[in-house]
Amino acid sequence: MAPAKKKSEKEAKARVPTASKVAAGRAAPRKRTAARKTAKSAATANERMKMIELESYFVAEKDGFRGDPKNYWITAETIVAARLARKK
């Protein structure tokens, strides 16, 4: 087994905050790009599917689970699509 590689002084110092950053109490804030903001606001396909699944259950529950599951699903898709459209 090879011995663990030690960090060079340069690498070790790069991770230590400078005195001015410590004195200020915080590091410089990072700038957000437009792509990051957009990615957080849009629901992924997986999240959308989970939302529809959950909404479908609630629609079926209101109906007493007497109807057709396909109709519950379609109703839930409509509700979720309306919610996501409002958020934009």
User: Between 26 and 67, where is the model more confident?
Assistant: 67
pLDDT value of residue 43 = 86
Output Rg (C-alpha) for the chain, integer angstroms: 25
| Total residue count of the chain as it appears in this document | 88
State the pLDDT at residue 33.
60
What's the pTM value of the predicted model, to 2 decimals? 0.53
Q: Look at 84 and 19; give whichever has higher pLDDT.
A: 84
Q: What are the two backbone dihedrals, phi and then psi, of residue 59, each rounded to the nearest 5 degrees? A: -65, -45
Distance from C-alpha of 51 to C-alpha of 73, rounded to nearest angstrom: 11
What is the predicted pLDDT for the residue at 88?
74
Helix (H) or strand (E) holding 25: none
Domain boundaries defined on the chain: 43-88
For the chain, the distance separating the N- and C-terminal CA atoms, rounded to the nearest angstrom, is 55
pLDDT of 40-76, one tens digit each?
A: 567 899 999 999 999 999 999 999 999 999 999 999 9
